[in-house]
Chains A and B, each alone.
Chain A
Amino acid sequence: MTAVLTAEGVRKSYGHHQVLTGADLSVDPGQLVAVVGENGAGKSTLLKALAGTLRTDAGSVRLSGSLGYCPQEAVLSDNLTVAQHLRYFAAAYHLPGLDRGEQLLDRLGYAEYRNVSAGSLSGGTRQKLNLTLALLHEPDVLLLDEPYQGFDWETYLRFWDLVGELREHGTAIVLITHLVFEQDRFDVLADLTGGKLHLRSPRTDGSGGDDDRR
């Protein structure tokens, strides 16, 4: 299978602090990859580098297809309603309508907030909208930086249903997570330690890694 996202030797330093020292990653269509690591290991930096929102010092990232990126902090416009966000991003993605957006509002369970300004939404609902904006154009590759922060349990389960559907349609997903109990959901666990990614299958090796997953 041809990888839709390939990163080779990605390096990034902030001053003298080397965060990424040559990270390699290859993700196939439909594959679900978890990036795990201690706080400050550089997980968000890696995802920004993969997304292309961060200028790196060295290395290469190759992306085939469209990209959806959900940043850790919800980047929204507080004066606009949920529906206006969908419309704005539909224009950005050149979508013909809001069908997919409406679907996602239902799937994530916040359709009743359609006409509420983002500034008045709770943290969890803001995060749902943040995620929706990354999914709106049905991207081939999805980069999610701790996408379920603030989700209640039901929404969390809905999120995983949605991820399952996306994978069936061939979407490659790279997700940063801290949760120990969910590692069996992933095809690959990518430990970010020492600025490099160490890949393993969660089903064949449950030992080792960082404290977050114990």
Chain B
Amino acid sequence: MTGADLMARPAASPRGRGGFAQFPTAVRFALRNQTRNRLAAVLLVAFVPAWYALMMAMVGHQSLDFKLYSTGQTLTVDGGQLTLISAGLNALSLIVGFAIFDAIRKTLAFDKRLVFAGYRQANLIGAKTLSISVIATAVALYAALVLLVFWRPSFGGWLAIAAGYAVIALTYGAFGLLLGVLVKGDLEGFFLIIMGGLMDTFLQNPLGNPLANKPVLEWFPSFGPMQAAVGGAFGHTALWGRLALGLAWAAGFALCGLVVFRIRTRSRRLDQAGLRCTASSTA
């Protein structure tokens, strides 16, 4: 019996429509699910400022060279301030990646049951995408606001940093989504997010890093956000292309994750609208 052989006939007595619209209901509950992670909330409130403070205390204010790939310029920047940007990107990659991974993995079987009961996959997919975007942007804004306690860049520079933060949060939110539908155990997912985020964001910082300013860094997800944030904060240029590159990573992860989500939650039943139907299958 294969799913492809299922056949449906028109509804004999369609059930009432209206009532609870699927998309807004799914958005509401996706937001609830993805914001109920207490550990992620504690990390957000406590870890972000603590991480900034630690970085400031450790790094000091030595000068560092940072290459802007769009303009070819090499900027000489304050190492402490550069490391603050890098620390924010790192914290966001961990917190958002962890929170989304955890929420997606825990609700996968439930989402499958919803689809089986008649929820349109498109509504669940749209709701998850919107929910992740809202959460990632809000968390990035928070991290950018906390940064002001430690350093006051120009307003344009702060906007560039906030934009870079939003892009990295979206990227790792999407990465968390992908891992959430692929990985079965908690540990594997957390390990991949922590190691991926650490390697990715710290390699972009020239502080004690022999790989800094090397072309290979262009192939990492945080390259775009880091370039855009540093370019805006120190070079006074808006590097939209670099932000777009970061968004492309986010879109790539999200697309892969949502395709796997669609495959893993699909239902072979055809009475998905809750309508009366006949489903039959033959070998």
Contact = CB atoms under 8 A, between A and B. Distances in A.
Interface of A: 9-11, 49, 51-53, 55-67, 69, 71, 75-80, 84, 87-97, 133, 137, 140
A95 B32 CA distance: 22
28 contacts: A11-B283, A52-B267, A53-B116, A58-B283, A60-B283, A61-B1, A63-B280, A64-B276, A64-B278, A65-B276, A65-B277, A66-B274, A69-B116, A71-B113, A75-B112, A75-B113, A79-B36, A88-B114, A90-B19, A91-B19, A91-B20, A91-B119, A92-B118, A93-B117, A94-B17, A96-B16, A96-B18, A137-B274
A80 B107 CA distance: 11
A103 to B, nearest CB: 16
Given A77-B106, A137-B274, 14 more contacts: A55-B3, A60-B1, A62-B279, A62-B280, A63-B271, A63-B277, A63-B278, A66-B276, A75-B109, A75-B110, A77-B110, A91-B19, A92-B274, A96-B17
Contact of B25 (A59, A71, A87, A133): A87
A78 B25 contact: no
B2 A55 contact: yes
Given A60-B281, A91-B20, A79 B32 contact: yes
B71 interface: no
Interface residues on B, range: 35 or more
Contacts of A51: 116, 269
B150 interface: no
Nearest to B114: A92
Contacts of A76: 110
B283 A67 contact: no
Contacts of B20: 87, 90-91, 95
A95 B25 contact: no
Interface of B: 1-3, 6, 15-22, 25-26, 29, 32-33, 36, 106-107, 109-110, 112-114, 116-119, 267-269, 271, 273-283
Given A55-B1, A62-B278, A80-B32, A97 B116 contact: no
A80 B29 contact: yes
A61 B19 CA distance: 32
A65 B15 CA distance: 12
Given A61-B1, A94-B118, A52 B269 contact: yes
B271 A93 contact: no
Given A61-B281, A76-B110, A79-B32, A55 B268 contact: yes
Contacts of A97: 19
A7 to B, nearest CB: 9
B113 A133 contact: yes
Given A52-B268, A55-B1, A77-B107, A95 B19 contact: yes
Contacts of B33: 77, 79-80
A94 B107 CA distance: 21
A76 B283 CA distance: 33
Contacts of B21: 91
Nearest to B7: A62
Per CB-CB distance, the 8 closest pairs between chain A and chain B, nearest first, are A58-B283, A91-B20, A92-B117, A96-B19, A56-B1, A79-B36, A62-B280, A91-B25
Nearest to A137: B274
A62 to B, nearest CB: 4
A9 B280 CA distance: 13
